């Protein structure tokens, strides 16, 4: 009489295995949370605490928002923050709209020129243009020192396009046919049938675009002058290049340490994405997996 063994993934984990997983998870959490706690704590610390602790503070005894008031008091960081917000919102809306339209066209069967267009798009994904051709193109289009240079050259991302196209292909053809029988055209089918069923994929792609626009600094350094930089380029100047990091003294004589200014700018640049992600997390896995499987 033969005994059937259960697959390994169906077996109940041993206590040693569970303890190892818990230890590994706790280690990862500490590696992620402790540096972020140090950043936030240092941004709230006073000059004396920063000096006494060698530049880094784990838990401030006298928390203060002076660093945030200094950098948001109508200076370069305030302007850069506004630039980043506008570029991220407008860029994400434009990119998501154009990507959805193109993905829907490429997902429909028997579209004239659909296959060659898809191959051409995938070719640009495998062989992207270099920095110099990009710069020359932006210059010839008259986009230098214009915020459009941060959006138009990267408006459609091929990976996001493939994800949306795969998701659209997974929608049953019967729904398209039923809508066509009711007299709906392609635009109405896209608006009333396809997009409402694709909220997961749209949320994921929108998050990808928003993060890319928000974190973009390289193109700003190429195309924009310093007075038009977004927040991430200003952050790089503050933290990496060390420019403008002399001690800041307010009218009351209080001094803000350069490390505190650095960490405050870093917090301002990080928190917006951290606040958006939890609302889209439930769509993340579903949207990516569905689009990737179908593509």
CATH number of the domain that residue 103 is part of: 1.10.3720.10
Asked if residue 4 is part of any domain, the answer here is no
> What integer pLDDT is reported at residue 245 of this predicted model?
47
* 22 and 152 belong to one structural domain: no
Asked if residue 3 is part of any domain, the answer here is no
Kindly report which listed range (157-171, 182-196, 273-287) carries the lowest average pLDDT score. Answer: 273-287
Task: Output the six-digit token pair for 138.
Answer: 């932006």
Q: Is the pLDDT of residue 216 over 90?
A: no
* 22 and 155 belong to one structural domain: no
Nearest to 284 by CA among 199, 191, 162: 199
Q: Cα–Cα–Cα angle for 237, 239, 243, nearest 5°?
A: 45
Return the half-sphere exposure (C-beta side, CA atoms, 13 A cut-off) of residue 98: 15
* 223 and 101 belong to one structural domain: yes
Residues 6+ apart with CB under 8 A from 180: 189
Q: How far apart are CA 274 and CA 226, in angstroms?
A: 27
172-202 burial: b if 16+ Cβ within 10 Å, else e: eeeebeebeeeebeeeebbeebbeebbebbb
Asked if residue 154 is part of any domain, the answer here is yes
* 58 and 103 belong to one structural domain: no
Asked if residue 272 is part of any domain, the answer here is yes
Asked if residue 110 is part of any domain, the answer here is yes
The pLDDT confidence band at residue 292, using thresholds 50, 70 and 90, is: very low
* 28 and 81 belong to one structural domain: no
Q: How many structural domains does the chain have?
A: 2
Task: Output the six-digit token pair for 274.
Answer: 């951290």
Write down which residue in 64, 80, 101 finishes a domain.
64
Q: In terms of pLDDT, which residue wins out, 254 or 206?
A: 206
* 45 and 148 belong to one structural domain: no
* 108 and 195 belong to one structural domain: yes
> What integer pLDDT is reported at residue 6 of this predicted model?
59
Q: How far apart are CA 107 and CA 116, in angstroms?
A: 13
* 104 and 218 belong to one structural domain: yes
Kindly report which listed range (55-64, 151-160, 215-224) carries the lowest average pLDDT score. Answer: 55-64
Structural domain boundaries enclosing 35:
13-64
* 23 and 162 belong to one structural domain: no
> 249 pairs with which residues across the strands?
255
Q: Cα–Cα–Cα angle for 241, 245, 247, nearest 5°?
A: 165
Asked if residue 157 is part of any domain, the answer here is yes
- State pLDDT tens for residues 81-131: 889 999 999 999 999 999 999 998 888 887 888 888 888 888 888 888 888
* 57 and 99 belong to one structural domain: no
Write down which residue in 64, 81, 97 finishes a domain.
64
pTM, entire model: 0.78
* 114 and 227 belong to one structural domain: yes
Greatest alpha-carbon pair distance for the chain in Å reads 89
Asked if residue 83 is part of any domain, the answer here is yes
Q: Are 242 and 259 in contact (CB under 8 A)?
A: no
- State pLDDT tens for residues 229-243: 898 888 888 777 554
* 87 and 166 belong to one structural domain: yes
């Amino acid at each position: 009489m033969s005994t059937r063994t259960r697959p390994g993934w169906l077996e109940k984990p041993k206590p040693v295995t569970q303890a190892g997983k818990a230890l590994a998870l706790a280690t990862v959490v500490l590696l992620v949370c402790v540096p972020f706690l140090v950043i936030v704590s240092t941004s709230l610390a006073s000059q004396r605490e920063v000096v006494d602790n060698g530049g880094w503070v784990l838990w401030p005894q006298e928390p203060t928002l002076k660093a945030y008031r200094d950098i948001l008091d109508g200076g370069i960081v305030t302007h850069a923050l506004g630039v980043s917000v506008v570029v991220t919102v407008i860029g994400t809306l434009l990119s998501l709209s154009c990507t959805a339209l193109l993905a829907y066209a490429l997902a429909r069967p028997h579209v004239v020129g659909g296959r060659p267009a898809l191959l051409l798009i995938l070719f640009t994904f495998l062989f992207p243009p270099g920095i110099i051709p990009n710069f020359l193109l932006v210059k010839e289009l008259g986009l230098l020192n214009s915020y459009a240079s941060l959006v138009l050259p990267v408006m459609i991302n091929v990976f996001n396009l493939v994800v949306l196209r795969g998701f659209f292909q997974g929608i049953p053809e019967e729904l398209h046919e039923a809508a066509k029988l009711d007299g709906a055209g392609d635009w109405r089918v896209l608006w009333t049938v396809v997009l409402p069923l694709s909220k997961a994929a749209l949320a994921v792609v929108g998050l990808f675009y928003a993060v890319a626009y928000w974190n973009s600094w390289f193109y700003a350094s190429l195309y924009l002058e310093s007075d038009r930089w977004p927040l991430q380029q200003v952050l790089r100047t503050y933290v990496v290049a060390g420019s403008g990091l002399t001690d800041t003294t307010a009218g009351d004589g209080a001094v803000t340490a350069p490390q505190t200014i650095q960490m405050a700018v870093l917090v301002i640049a990080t928190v917006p994405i951290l606040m958006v992600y939890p609302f889209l997390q439930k769509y993340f896995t579903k949207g990516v997996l569905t689009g990737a499987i179908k593509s």
